[in-house]
Amino acid sequence: MTAVSRAALRAQGLGKKYGRRWALTDCTLEVPAGRVVGLVGPNGAGKSTLLNLAVGMLTPTTGTIEVLDAPAGGPRQAKIGFVAQDTPTYARLSIADHLQLGARLNPGWDDSLAQARIRSLGLDPKQRAGKLSGGQRAQLALTLGIAKRPELLILDEPVAALDPLARREFLQDLMAAVTEQELSVILSSHLVSDVERSCDYLVVLVDSRVQVSGDIDTLLATHYRLVGPRREEKSMPQNQHVIAASHTDRQSTFLIRTDEPILDPAWTISQLTLEDVVLAYMGRSATAPQNNRPLLEVQR
């Protein structure tokens, strides 16, 4: 898929309430198509609720959500693959049973792809899912997601419970599928290292609000740590957007975003890692803007 003007996911004023508790409130964001998007945020930020709304497993209490430029749960649903949190499978069903079920439920099912993946993984089709390791169950869930030949693959923290080797193998297979099928992907994770390894676009969601979104390379190229003599935030140039600040009696440290050169010789300047960027924006939850627009939206 080459169209970059389309949105893989678009939400406007989206909210979901369970009884008296809001799991997601007034969420507005747009996720571009044709990208591998990392959706990052703390527990309780609303990531899983958002993704379950996107695949039609939940209905909104307020607002709207579109996936592939159509209402979530509508006619485009067959073009969406989903690997839910903890990669759920049916313990009593065999691998072969899962593939047969996938074929019955998905009109675009590619059985040759599914069978080839199971063989390449060295799995016995007769083995029950309940007897598989965590990594094997995750690979089975990924097979079910990509064998329906989706345009968009949504994964909700699929590797959080896996050991490092199984996690790496899962992400390698995911990236191979992205290359072969030209998928758009939304990968929810609290592991920044997985996002950095797999994704080219970042969305940080805190308290239902988008704190920053943009191309990862651009984010890394425009965020800096400045260390120098103590000064107040209000004295910083207007083109230097302060994300976080800390002070001692004599020294200030600012995490900033700017598209322009930093010319003040008083500063010691260093680039930020992706983890630095994510943690800085996650720490801004209390100052999220009331209109729920991203604090920063960075495009290539």
pLDDT of 113 above 90: yes
The count of structural domains within the chain is 2
- Confirm whether 135 is domain-assigned: yes
Mean pLDDT of 272-292: 74
* pLDDT, tens digit (0-9, with 9 covering 90-100), for 62-97: 999 999 999 998 878 889 999 988 778 999 999 999
Contact 124, 95 (CB under 8 A): yes
Q: Does residue 248 fall inside a structural domain?
A: yes
Regarding whether 193 and 113 lie in a shared domain, the answer is yes
pLDDT for 94: 97
Question: Half-sphere exposure of residue 280, counting CA atoms within 13 Å on the CB side?
Answer: 25
My answer on whether 154 and 25 are in the same domain is yes
Is 262 within a domain?
yes
Cα–Cα dist 204/213, whole Å: 6
Residues 255 and 282 in one domain: yes
Rounded average pLDDT over 114-142: 94
**Does residue 259 share a domain with residue 192?**
no
pLDDT confidence bin for 5, thresholds 50/70/90: low
Question: Residue 270 — very low, low, confident or very high, per pLDDT cuts 50/70/90?
Answer: very high
User: Residue 286 sits in which domain range?
Assistant: 217-298
Type of residue at 90: Y
Angstrom distances, CA of residue 42 to CA of 45, 63, 189: 6, 23, 9
210 inside domain:
no
Same domain, 77 and 172: yes
Helix orientation angle between 111-120 and 95-105, rounded to the nearest 10 degrees: 160
How far apart are the C-alpha atoms of 27 and 44, rounded to whole Å?
13
One-letter amino acid identity for 72?
A: A
Query: Residues 241, 147: one domain?
Result: no
Query: CATH no. for residue 173?
Result: 3.40.50.300
Q: Quick one: pLDDT at residue 129?
A: 95
Is 204 a member of any domain?
A: no
Overall average pLDDT of the 233-247 stretch: 94
Task: Please indicate, yes or no, if residue 81 is contained in any of the structural domains.
Answer: yes
Mean pLDDT, the chain, rounded, equals 89
CATH number for position 267: 3.30.70
Around Cβ 299, how many Cβ atoms within 10 Å? Answer: 9
- My answer on whether 76 and 161 are in the same domain is yes
State pLDDT tens for residues 216-235: 999 999 999 999 999 999 99
Tens digits of residue pLDDT in 166-216: 889 999 999 999 999 889 999 998 889 889 999 999 999 998 888 999 999
Q: Kindly tell me if the per-residue pLDDT of 1 is higher than 50.
A: no
Domain end, chosen from 132, 166, 199, is at 199
Contact predicate 35/200, CB 8 Å: yes
